[in-house]
């Protein structure tokens, strides 16, 4: 996902009330990418870029988790047999 796509998405976001975990991660990535543009220190700029990529990976994982319709079933407790 490009920087412009993320920034457009952020501008058109529905607000935090309706946001999925994927949306939250994308918003964080967009915020960090916006900081990259104003950063003069190359080391700090690289760290911001790494952090933004990590948030993008989290967004991808959250999207996969949403599609993986796997219900959680708690383990069955064993009956106490004396």
CA distances in angstroms from 2 to 26, 62, 69, 81, 82, listed in the order given = 11, 19, 29, 60, 63
pLDDT at 54: 97
Query: What SS3 state is found at 10?
Result: helix
At residue 72, what are phi and psi to the nearest 5 degrees? -90, 130
Residue 22 near residue 59 (C-beta atoms within 8 A): yes
pLDDT digits over 44-64, tens only? 999 999 999 999 999 999 999
pLDDT at 18: 78
Burial classification of residue 5, based on how many CB atoms lie within 10 Å of its CB (0-12 exposed, 13-18 middle, 19 or more buried) = exposed
Instruction: Record the pTM.
Output: 0.65
pLDDT digits over 14-44, tens only? 555 678 899 999 999 999 999 888 899 999 9
pLDDT at 6: 59
pLDDT at 53: 96
């Amino acid at each position: 996902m490009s920087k412009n796509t993320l920034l457009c998405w952020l501008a058109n976001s529905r607000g935090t009330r309706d946001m999925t975990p994927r949306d939250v991660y994308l918003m964080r990535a967009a915020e960090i990418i916006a900081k990259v543009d104003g950063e003069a220190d190359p080391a700090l700029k690289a760290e911001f870029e790494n952090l933004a990529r990590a948030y993008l990976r989290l967004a991808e994982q959250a999207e996969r988790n949403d599609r993986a319709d796997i219900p959680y079933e708690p383990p069955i407790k064993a009956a106490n047999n004396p």
